């Protein structure tokens, strides 16, 4: 049976997180026993206490898959997001931000005492960022919250590896894969983090071996971790024949894509000054997928991914600030 033309380009499932940034001094960090420059997971009580004590802050919606959709939407793609927030202030911020980008977001809010996920970021005068992450409501996304019709209507289902950790979202993503593949759609997966891979390597390899992943995104450290080898080329070879589109970024050395067994490479895009590498992989995926959806060459997809990543690392925050459509048009002029 031939799949119908997709109504949406990409539907993503991921963590719904709001980054809360505030300037502080070392005394504030010491008062709250925070390790300067580090990242720690915190519980709900500490999240509420720290948020209440923080100086005036700026809220910027984040989350890996949501960042990728922000890039895709900026490149003119029709997108939908599935992720869970609570019916609270930061949940309203996240919902507003994602919908303001033109992204469909209809996931029912969570009620009760588990707040919306947030990353509380304190920036000291020396530009060090101290991050405190509470995963909150996003980690309890149930299978019942999935909009299966929306998933079936999208050309690509994009899954965030970070969300494979908790039991409920993991079950939801398995159901989403079944729905997408049953409708003849493609499934893209980003490995997200070495720590996630260490905990779920067997699951990820099983998805690959079953042929359930059409597009796999990683960086060189993640693909080596998945393969449990120390050599990048060996790691690529482990999976190149098992995934139709295998993409791996290599920092300043650019990126590699192996598509239907054929290898393609592209350099990193030039950046005048690197300010914040948060979101680089997310925006690379956005650029690559946008070009892929448009039917452009693999080289073009790698180039647009690199350009989108270069834009986001040139400023604070993991969402694009420049017009990615203009960047794309100049790149392909």
State pLDDT tens for residues 177-201.
999 999 999 999 999 888 889 999 9
Query: Quick count: other Cβ atoms within 10 Å of Cβ 218?
Result: 24
- pTM reported for the whole predicted model: 0.91
User: pLDDT by residue for the chain (333 residues), tens digit each?
Assistant: 457 788 999 999 999 999 888 889 999 999 999 988 777 889 988 998 998 999 998 888 999 999 999 999 999 999 999 999 999 999 999 999 999 999 999 999 999 989 999 989 888 887 677 889 898 999 999 999 999 999 999 999 999 998 998 899 999 999 999 999 999 999 999 998 888 899 999 999 999 999 999 999 999 999 999 999 999 999 999 999 999 999 999 988 999 999 999 999 999 998 888 877 778 899 999 999 999 999 999 999 999 999 999 999 888 778 899 999 999 999 999
Provide the pLDDT for residue 1.
47
Provide the pLDDT for residue 41.
83
């Amino acid at each position: 049976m031939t799949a119908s033309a997709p109504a949406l380009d990409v539907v993503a499932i991921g963590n719904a997180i709001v980054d809360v940034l505030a300037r502080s001094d070392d005394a504030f960090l010491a008062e709250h026993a925070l390790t300067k420059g580090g990242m720690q997971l915190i519980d709900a009580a500490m999240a509420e206490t720290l948020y209440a004590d923080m100086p005036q802050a700026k809220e910027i919606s984040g989350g890996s898959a949501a960042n990728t959709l922000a890039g895709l939407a900026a490149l003119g793609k029709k997108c939908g997001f599935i992720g869970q927030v609570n019916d609270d202030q930061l949940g309203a911020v996240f919902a507003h931000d994602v919908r303001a980008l033109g992204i469909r977001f209809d996931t029912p809010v969570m009620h009760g005492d588990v707040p919306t996920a947030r990353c509380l970021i304190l920036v000291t005068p020396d530009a060090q960022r101290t991050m405190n992450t509470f995963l909150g409501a996003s980690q309890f996304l149930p299978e019942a919250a999935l909009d299966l019709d929306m998933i079936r209507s999208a050309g690509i289902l994009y899954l965030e590896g970070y969300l494979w950790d908790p039991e409920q979202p993991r079950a939801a993503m398995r159901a989403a894969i079944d729905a997408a593949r049953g409708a003849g759609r493609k499934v893209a997966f980003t490995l997200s983090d070495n720590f996630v891979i260490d905990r779920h390597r067997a699951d990820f390899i099983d998805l690959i071996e079953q042929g359930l992943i059409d597009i796999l995104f990683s960086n060189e450290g993640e693909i080596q971790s998945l393969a449990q080898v120390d050599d990048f080329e060996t790691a690529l070879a482990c999976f190149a024949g098992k995934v139709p589109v295998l993409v791996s970024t290599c920092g300043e050395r650019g990126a590699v894509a192996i598509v239907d067994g054929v290898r393609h490479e592209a350099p990193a895009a030039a950046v005048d000054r690197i300010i914040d590498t948060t979101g680089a992989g997310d925006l690379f995926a956005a650029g690559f997928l946008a070009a892929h959806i448009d039917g452009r060459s693999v080289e073009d997809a790698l180039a647009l991914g690199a350009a989108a990543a270069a834009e986001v690392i040139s400023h604070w925050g993991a969402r694009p600030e420049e017009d990615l459509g203009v960047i794309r048009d100049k790149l392909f002029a």
